[in-house]
Structure 1
Amino acid sequence: MGKLNGKISIITGAGTGIGKGIAIEFAKENCNLVLASRKTENLNKTYEEIRSFNKDIKILTIKTDVTKESDVSNLFKKTIDEFQKLDILVNNSGVFDGGPIDNLPLSSWLKVINVNLTGVFLCTKTAMQIMKKQKGGRIINIGSISAQKPRMDSAPYTTSKHGLVGLTKSTALEGREYGIIASCLHPGNVATERRIYSDDAMAKRSRDEEMMQPEDIGTAAVTMASLPMNVNMLESIVLPVNQAYLGRG
């Protein structure tokens, strides 16, 4: 316990699923947390679960829509007002929508790109402004193995995650001289609420496959976040041992 002792981390999409799992594992390592999500009730549940085992760290919960520049500005302002620094940003907020490309509504495409890519850009832009001034910081983007091996009927999601890899590499390149590190963590099948309960085709198809728990991705994120500041794990794929990966359908 204590790999992230005293660090300050913003985690978006922290109310459920992978974001919640990352928040829990960061808290186990004594990281102070700023938890962001669109739904206050989900943030409160994450907060209470963390408080059940760690009453010492500081935790802020801030309702945030990462597609709104004003919300993102508010998130980072409140973080700096409270902690005066930002060590780690975890860009985890994400949505899924899909279907055959020739029958895909523009609204579905834009919804996914706005959250999964534009939202990450807005958060990264603001984080880099802070991290340049303080001469260092770490940004971890939660991608997907869909950026490596796509599934059918997932064009918006797959495209957004490919784009996220490009944004990660651009961030790492531009941040290098300022001590800013950017990484992309690609999860395989994770037993999130969406995957278990959603009616979308991709979630249904994957339910019979082996799953990890959100906390497993949290453990991987801790590994990335706790590396020395002269070391970067640029990309990492984390998946269940028995999940089909090469040639998956």
Structure 2
Amino acid sequence: MNDLVQRFQTPSSRARRWYGLSSPSCKRVRNADANLVHLAHYVSFNVFSKGVGRESAVALSKAGWNVVLTARRADALHETSLLCTSPETCLVLAGDVTDEDFVKKLFSETVARFGKPALVFGVNAGIASFGGPVEELSLENFQTVISVNLVGPFLCAREAVKLFKSQTPIGGRIINNGSLSAHTPRPNSVAYTTSKHAITGLSKCLALDGRAFDITCTQIDIGNARTPMAATMATGMLQPDGRMMPEATFDVAHVAAAVVHIASLPPDVAVPHYTIMASKVPFAGRG
């Protein structure tokens, strides 16, 4: 992963000027081991503790970002924090991002520790549980998927926008974790696919409503990154014609490198959509 993100290790001088990071008052802490510069008030949220979230958090940390990690499992968050550059540049807050009070606490504690953020990544790979025919899907299970995959990102985005509008200079960047299912569904995935289509709507609205305030929003759609969530893809995935077929995967480090690149762009550059997937994924013919 280090090779993939090496060229993005330090935010560009232009990006630093946009975010007010080139002034003498900008606190810099040098990590002797990694020889990296950590820029205060340059904060990323990663609302997951493994897979894409873990890889991206570590990559952002090594690229000079302070990172805030949150998920339900404190043990997994701790494991991720140990992979980051140093304890001083990583804040761990375990909790539930579908809980409005916790999300407000998450942002207030982040501001108290690092200052106001420039980036909110994420914010959620989501859950793909409760697959099956739509007529067998309970309302409770449908609502669980929608709550985790959509309500959580909405709550985090809402708090981020409040801060982005109130800080000086105004502005910031949100990266929402979409999916190829935001474009084309898999069979028997009504709850997950519905939630990811909704992320597209959320991302578009954030980009439109944030434009006048230098707030950009990217939806990154990932297809078959090699993570624990994708472990079953090598053994076979249900295809639209009813067959079970193994699907190609790719190194999740490439996703992390893409996140670091998007995060390093100045606020006058927007990336509305970014799709990254294994080259052999049957995406174009799905459905």
Same fold, TM-score > 0.5, yes or no: yes
- Deviation for aligned residue 1:136: 0.7
8 Å CA contact 1:20–1:214 kept in 2: the answer is: no
8 Å CA contact 2:81–2:87 kept in 1: the answer is: no
- Deviation for aligned residue 1:195: 2.2
Distance 1:58 1:92 in 2: 19
Match of 2:24 in 1: none
Match of 1:28 in 2: 62
Distance 1:197 1:244 in 2: 16
Corresponding residue SS for 1:181: strand
Q: Equivalent residues in 2 for 1:80-229 (5 A)?
A: 80-93=111-124, 94-97=126-129, 98-134=131-167, 135-196=170-231, 208-229=246-267
8 Å CA contact 1:21–1:216 kept in 2: the answer is: no
TM-score in terms of structure 2 length: 0.80
Match of 1:37 in 2: 71
Q: Deviations over 1:9-62 (max 9, x none)?
A: 11111x111111110111121111111111000000101122xxx238611000
Give the stretch that moved more between structures: 37-46 or 222-231. Answer: 222-231
Distance 1:56 1:230 in 2: 32
8 Å CA contact 2:237–2:247 kept in 1: the answer is: no
Q: Deviations over 1:105-161 (max 9, x none)?
A: 112211110011111111111111111001111000010011112100111111111
What 5-or-longer segments of structure 2 have no aligned partner? Answer: 1-8, 13-37
Corresponding residue SS for 2:143: helix
What 5-or-longer segments of structure 1 have no aligned partner? Answer: none
8 Å CA contact 1:92–1:142 kept in 2: the answer is: yes
Corresponding residue SS for 1:128: helix
Corresponding residue SS for 1:38: coil
- Deviation for aligned residue 1:202: 5.4
Give the stretch that moved more between structures: 201-210 or 183-192. Answer: 201-210
Distance 1:236 1:181 in 2: 13
- Deviation for aligned residue 1:194: 2.4
Corresponding residue SS for 2:98: coil
8 Å CA contact 1:172–1:182 kept in 2: the answer is: yes
Match of 1:46 in 2: 80
- Deviation for aligned residue 1:206: 8.4
Answer yes or no: is 1:239 the counterpart of 2:280. no
Corresponding residue SS for 1:186: strand
Match of 2:52 in 1: 18
Corresponding residue SS for 2:46: strand
Percent identical residues: 34
Corresponding residue SS for 1:151: coil
Describe the shift of the 1:210–1:57 C-alpha distance in structure 2 as closer, same or farther (beyond 3 A).
farther
Corresponding residue SS for 1:63: coil
Distance 1:206 1:128 in 2: 43
Describe the shift of the 1:207–1:61 C-alpha distance in structure 2 as closer, same or farther (beyond 3 A).
farther
TM-score in terms of structure 1 length: 0.91
Describe the shift of the 1:223–1:110 C-alpha distance in structure 2 as closer, same or farther (beyond 3 A).
same
Which structure's CA Rg is the greater one? 2
Describe the shift of the 1:217–1:203 C-alpha distance in structure 2 as closer, same or farther (beyond 3 A).
farther
Distance 2:244 2:64 in 1: 34
Q: Where do 4+ consecutive residues of structure 1 move more than 2 Å?
A: 54-57, 201-208
Distance 1:73 1:120 in 2: 13
* Amino acid aligned to 2:10: G
> CA RMSD, aligned part only?
2.1
